[in-house]
Amino acid sequence: MTDSKMLPHLKVLYIEDDDMTREELARYLKKRVGQLMVAENCDKALSFLDKETADLIITDLRMPGMNGLQLIAHLRALGNQTPVIITSAFSDSETILQAVDLGIVKYVVKPIALDDLMKAMSDVAATTFKQQGTYVFNDTPILERESKLELEK
């Protein structure tokens, strides 16, 4: 597995209620992304998002209190269009369709295949940089639009 050179430029919010799963994936992600915020529930995640922005949200689906779908619906109602990857042990088609309707990027079934997750995260990074006007070459963000125009002059 090759890690994207774009991931160190991402700010990621990871939400998981299971302690062991959260600690294991957080340790893995922390080495690969620019900034990782970790929350054990959606209330804590919303608290983070009140103070910070995220380039990507990775959330478990089923959690006590507010679940992942409710969190996404809440964020979308507020106008927050941050890309979301859902992780879940459940793969029933009704839940997946609800998630797709809320505009998720990827639905990753647990146990998480790290290759699938890294690919989805790289795709989000590429889209994010493109929307920000940053040019990417060989999977590396190299130049913001303004810098490119200045260089061309």
Locate 113 and state its tokens.
């295949």
**Residue 39 has what pLDDT?**
98
> Checking phi first, is residue 130 left (phi over 0); if not, alpha (psi -120 to 50) or beta?
alpha
pLDDT of residue 131: 77
Q: What are the start-end ranges of the E strands in 23-105?
A: 35-39, 56-60, 84-88
- Mean pLDDT for the chain overall: 87
Tell me the pTM. 0.85
Q: Coil, strand, or helix at residue 115?
A: helix
Comparing 59-68, 74-83, 105-114, 122-131, which segment has the lowest mean pLDDT? 122-131
Residues 107-141, buried b or exposed e (16+ Cβ, 10 A)?
bbebebeeeebbebbbbbbbebbeeeebebeeeeb
Instruction: Report how far residue 125's alpha carbon sits from residue 105's, in angstroms, rounded to the nearest whole number.
Output: 12
Residue that has been written with the tokens 């990775």 in this structure? 58
User: Which segment of 97-101, 115-119, 125-129 scores lowest on mean pLDDT?
Assistant: 125-129
pLDDT at 6 over 90: no
Average pLDDT estimate for 33-46: 97
Q: What SS3 class is residue 85?
A: strand
What pLDDT, on a 0 to 100 scale, did the predictor assign at position 1?
Answer: 44
Report which secondary-structure segment, H or E, holds 146.
Answer: helix 145-152
- pLDDT of 126 reads 84
Classify 119 as helix, strand or coil.
helix
Closest by Cα among 29, 131, 121, 43 to 84: 121
pLDDT band at 137 (very low <50, low <70, confident <90, very high): low
Cα distance between residue 19 and residue 15, in whole Å: 11
pLDDT single digits (tens) 47-104: 999 999 999 999 999 999 999 999 999 999 999 999 999 999 888 888 888 889 999 9
What pLDDT, on the 0 to 100 scale, is given for residue 97?
87
pLDDT at 2 over 50: no
